[in-house]
Amino acid sequence: MESKELIEKVAERVGRSKDDVKKLLDGLIIVLQERAEDLDSVAIPGFGTFEAKKKDERIVNNPSNGKRMLVPPRVALTFKVSNVLKNKLK
């Protein structure tokens, strides 16, 4: 499902305009980005938790030429499904 279709489906469900739903989803994305920058988590009850995890720098071997490379540290956003949603999917 693409974002356009998601916006349409949510707008139908909540009885709001597509523009309102798009603004809400854009706002959610901005909050997730801000929290990820602070290495904080965002929990959505009944859905799951978005959590930012810092990955340390590491040395890897390039398989094509065998040279060692340094991979810089980065922040990865992970998602853990809530038990409520997990049980509904079973």
Distance CA 73, CA 52 (A): 13
pLDDT value, residue 12: 95
CATH of the domain at 58: 4.10.520.10
Instruction: Report which DSSP code applies to 64.
Output: T
**In the chain, % of residues over pLDDT 90:** 84
Encoded amino acid at 51, one letter:
E
Q: Which domain holds residue 62?
A: 3-89
pLDDT value, residue 40: 92
Distance CA 39, CA 77 (A): 9
Span 41-86, pLDDT tens digits:
999 999 999 999 999 999 999 889 989 999 999 989 999 999 999 9
Q: How many domains does the chain have?
A: 1
Q: Which of 25, 26, 1, 2 is nearest to 14 (CA)?
A: 25
Distance CA 78, CA 82 (A): 13
Distance of CA 55 to the CA centre of its chain: 16
pTM (two decimals): 0.72
CB 44 within 8 A of CB 80: no
